[in-house]
Amino acid sequence: MARSIARALLVAALLASPSPASPQAKAPNLSKAQKEALLAAVTAARDAARLAPDDHWQMHLLRASDGSHYVAFSMEAPPNLTPDERLVLYVRLEPKATEPPSTSARPRSTVEEWLRGERGDPLPLRAARVVTVPTGELPMGGTAATMTRDGSGQNSAVLALMERRQQKAREEAEAHERARREALEGKGDAAPNVMPFEDFDVQARVLARPGGSAVFQRALTAGPGDYDVVVAWAVVDGRDRPTRTGARRQSMSLPAVQTTGLALGSVILADAIRARAELYTAEQQTAHPYAIGGTEIDPAPDHAFTNDERLSVAFQVFNAAASATGKPDVGIALRLYRRTAAGEELAASLAPLEYNENTLPPDFNLLQGHPLLAAFAAPLRTLPRGEYRLAVAATDRVARTTAATEARFRITPTAAALIASAPAFTAPFARARLLETAVFDPALDALAPLATSPGLAPLLSLTRQHRFVDLMADSKVADEDRGTAMLLQGIAAYALGDTPRAIGVRLARAREAGAPEGATQFWLGATLALEGRDADAVHAWKAARAAGWPQALAAPPIAEAHVRLAQFDEAGRTAREALAAGAADPSLVRVAAAADIAARRFAEAVDGLTSHLAFVPADADAQWLLIHAIFASFVTGDGPGTTADGRARFGEAVERYVAAGGRHRALAEEWRAFLTASGTPTGPSPWAVFPASSASSPSGPTR
């Protein structure tokens, strides 16, 4: 990804406003057992004052149609509650207790008073309100109008009185609305001495989450203030009788409602955002707090995502100014920042969101109270793992105001992603490889029996002494020795850094002059490898082997060339044959292990590497291959990584590799953390990261 993410999915719909969702449209008709269970839940809620606040909550702030705060929350259920159990659920909002708490000031529970027969309505603070006639005043008209004979005069008086009553009701309603607005803005008087919010559901269940704990999802409405949210429940049997109860408590502080100027609600990080064909009824809404009109949001259980997932985000835009047609003109910029050791760095800029005449439905109208819900989704597959911050900046072009908010999340690895992120195993050919003492001296030893004449002995001695410049001077040798002398000059040119083309010309002439075939083909293969012509190099080295050149010298470069050609089967076979014949080159052990890993023979790879590291413990590349083999076997559930002994060996190998400063130590530590936290892996096999060998798509184990 070139610092950008694929175009975000824009979700803008004409939405019904969230409302204070109460499942009771009127005083419910509960059975005796249901009332007993609800009272048990209310009692558990009262006792919850002794509980410490629970951290396993997510709370998201939106706004209800009446302007109050609408809080949707998701709370992790205790392990002993399962989705197949029926519950009586009770939710309430308590003003934060003073220190020391005052018993006389403690708000009353209208639900509890209703259960005890002390009132007729358990939820008097529902959003639906009517203006009622004060107690003791008999309204005129109707039956009262027939109580006198003088109908016309009496009717006129009745009409006048009714008009005064209606005017008084309008004034009271306006006063109530002003008081409510002032309370929302934090300016009004204290609320009445009852719980600011209560709700209950006698048919509740916890919501199952795939791969995670079950949750309670509910919503509440309230004005500004400091509160305790209490969720209590009673598990009921087949006859609705309570069998056990429980409760959770969390603190919450709601600010004064901002009624002017652009503002943004809570950023909801979601697993999915879906459009619904049908709206939930008022009775269903309470169990679906994240259903906002025709949009349903599945809040993520945590803020950790993998590269295989999409980041879905939703948030409400408040107080956008309307044009003459009722449409807003709001632009939203989205940027992702990744936390690094040096601080934050810009990781991506997402496609901006636009809400205006051109993007919103024709019937969308802010003047009619339609809410604006911003939503988008973006893939995470190209982002590196780590901690991220989503910065949201909104601009209202009509009112010329701005607002900003943010959300934090992290991208965590999957087993397949961790394996796939490992660097590919490579065996690059370097000119110095054949000049190392472990290779160069045995190569001269193999040539020595063919260069025993008096004229060649001094030249061979100069070669052993690495006096390559002296070798380049013409020497008088017998005709039968000229080919070998020219070969030694070709070796000197190779050591002095001459071009592959120039070296190849010298070696070709040496061969024509009768130089030993095996030695000439060996050095010719090295020259071809310098040019990147690995297939031709393999052909030359195999020709050297056929001419009697030692397998211990020919096998390592042949095996490594097969690796570069992505021919892991052939590379492994060559390496194993040479090792079985007594060759001791460490590169053969590494190539054989790499081929075993590519072929999923993890136990063989681990055994070979363990034996090798017992004698050469400082071989960092072999240490890394051992780590890779064990982790890959853990991921697939087949091999040493699935056993306690194998995991212990893995931990020790990582410890040594990191302590030695291995170049892939960061990934090794990430693998160790994943293995430690994961246990036995489950799910589909990630074998796509070990494809069959292909010359056009190099793959295989890491190095």
Which of these, 382, 388, 390, 378, lies nearest to 417 by C-alpha position? 382
Assess if residue 684 is contained within a domain. no
Assess if residue 341 is contained within a domain. yes
Q: Which two tokens stand for residue 286?
A: 């309470």
**Residue 148: its pLDDT value, please?**
30
Which of these, 412, 224, 161, 394, lies nearest to 307 by C-alpha position? 412
- Write the single-letter amino acid at 452: T
Whole-number Å distance between alpha carbons of 129 and 403: 34
Assess if residue 611 is contained within a domain. no
**Residue 283: its pLDDT value, please?**
72
**522: Cα separation from own chain's centroid:** 52
pLDDT tens-digit readout, 401-432: 999 999 999 998 888 888 888 888 999 999 99
DSSP character for 689?
Answer: G
Domain that holds residue 263: 1-16+258-412
pTM, 2 dp: 0.64
Q: State how many domains the chain has.
A: 1
The neighbouring-strand residues paired with 217 are 74
CATH code (residue 285): 2.60.40.3880
Whole-number Å distance between alpha carbons of 495 and 466: 8
Assess if residue 81 is contained within a domain. no
Q: Which two tokens stand for residue 665?
A: 């130590």
**Residue 695: its pLDDT value, please?**
31
Angle at 306 between CA 304 and CA 308, to 5 degrees: 150
Q: How far, CA to CA in Å, does 647 sit from each of 370, 644, 689?
A: 58, 5, 21
**Residue 188: its pLDDT value, please?**
53
Assess if residue 599 is contained within a domain. no
Which of these, 310, 407, 405, 410, lies nearest to 58 by C-alpha position? 407
**24: Cα separation from own chain's centroid:** 39
Whole-number Å distance between alpha carbons of 64 and 276: 20
State which residues of the chain have pLDDT below 70: 1-27, 97-105, 125-192, 679-703
DSSP character for 562?
Answer: H
Angle at 297 between CA 196 and CA 208, to 5 degrees: 85
Assess if residue 648 is contained within a domain. no
- Write the single-letter amino acid at 9: L
Assess if residue 434 is contained within a domain. no
**Residue 54: its pLDDT value, please?**
75
- Proportion of the chain in helix, strand, coil states, percent, rounded to 5: 40, 25, 40
**Residue 629: its pLDDT value, please?**
95
Determine the length of the chain. 703
Assess if residue 609 is contained within a domain. no
Report the run of H or E that residue 282 belongs to, with start and end. Answer: helix 282-285
> 616: helix, coil or strand?
coil
**Residue 316: its pLDDT value, please?**
94
Whole-number Å distance between alpha carbons of 382 and 1: 6
**Residue 68: its pLDDT value, please?**
84
Query: Which residue reads 């985000």 in tokens?
Result: 313
